Amino acid sequence: MRRTTTPTARRLAAAAVALGSFLALAGPTAPAGAAPADPVKTVFIGDSYTANYGITPVNNQDNERGWCFQAAQNYPAVATKRLADKGITVDVQADVSCGGALVEHFWKEQELFGGLGRVPAQQDALKEDTRLVVGGMGGNTLGFTSVIKQCSAKLRGNEGALLPGSPVDPESPAAACRTFFESEDGKAWLDYSLERVGGDLEEMLLRMSYHSPDAERVLVGYPRLVPQDTTKCSTAAPGQTELPFADIPQDALPVLDQVQKRLNDVMKKAAADEGADFVDLYDRTGTNTACDGANRGIGGLLENSQLEIGQPLPWYGHPNEKGRDLQATYVAGKVEEVLNR
């Protein structure tokens, strides 16, 4: 399918996908213009990295959506304030980001943490008059928590009991995870999972155009977790006793980084192929990884987050407040660019 650019062309393409047919369409590029003076009707979608799991207080504590662990001050909320400071008013129609969401939960109902409720498909929040859709998903469809559990004996046990997912192959020891992902079944699983992510993201982006034909779509990638210099990961962060990546073998850290880099590339390609914009957080957060000590923007796997359910919940590699602010900065910058072109 050739790249579609106009809302009408994107909507027709989405309809064609929904009908199971193939349609090649192209249209002229929309003319450049100033950012709209009227409020921009916006929907935020996404998984725990958009919801900013680990940061409190949490929205919707009086209903089942509370189990999405969506922070009241997640990056959509912070980015909205930063845009307002620049004279760009974002009218948030909904923020349906939810921890644990797969890409398919954009069009399918999602069962919440621990089976404690269900939430509607995220696409239900989109309206005919929505002008901007922002957020990111893909890591759960890939099965990144399964990758982590494949490499960590601790997270296969009680310390990872609240982390969804199982190791890819529990018969293969955690210490051998680098070899596992670089050969035979592990490599095949990873290749297939990434292919699935790409296909699901393309469908999600097409569905956005079908439901909100005039909306700009901004797909947000994931911040970098593992630094280029992995020796930094052999030191605990200030005030911590656990290493940033717990007991994951040192030689497996480049593998984790490569998995994340490949996911980032898949997301970038899906956005480009479907005429959407992409926020490349991976390339911009290399000095704020989980192993960057006081400058870390990512909470360590077993570092206590701000959440508690009887006991503190670990960050499990999610952005802390510094990381949240970095997400907000780059997302606000991209939205401003999109609305001003």
Is 288 noted as a catalytic residue in this protein?
no
Which amino acid makes up residue 198? Answer: G
pLDDT, residue 35, reads 57
pLDDT, residue 161, reads 81
Beta-carbon contacts of 63 under 8 Å, excluding residues fewer than 6 positions away, are none
The whole-angstrom distance between residue 76's C-alpha and the CA centroid of its chain comes to 12
State the catalytic residue, choosing from 46, 54, 99, 100. Answer: 100
CA 53 to CA 51: how far, in whole Å? 6
The predicted model scores a pTM of: 0.89
Token reading at 160: 């990872």
20-29, 200-209, 259-268: which range is least confident on average?
20-29
**Selection from 17, 1, 3, 7 nearest residue 203 by Cα:** 17
pLDDT, residue 7, reads 45
State the catalytic residue, choosing from 46, 48, 136, 212. Answer: 48
pLDDT in tens, 76-96: 999 999 999 999 999 999 999
Contact 90, 80 (CB under 8 A): yes
CA 131 to CA 134: how far, in whole Å? 10
pLDDT in tens, 216-244: 999 999 999 999 999 999 999 999 999 99
Is 295 noted as a catalytic residue in this protein?
no
State the catalytic residue, choosing from 59, 97, 140, 209. Answer: 140
Is 59 noted as a catalytic residue in this protein?
no
Is 183 noted as a catalytic residue in this protein?
no
State the catalytic residue, choosing from 152, 300, 318, 323. Answer: 318
pLDDT in tens, 167-199: 999 999 999 999 999 999 999 999 999 999 999
pLDDT in tens, 123-135: 999 999 999 999 9
157: number of Cβ within 10 Å? 10
Q: Locate tokens 């407040």: which residue?
A: 321
Percent of all residues in the chain with a pLDDT value above 90, rounded to a whole number: 84
CA 279 to CA 294: how far, in whole Å? 25
- What's the rounded mean pLDDT across residues 319-324? 98
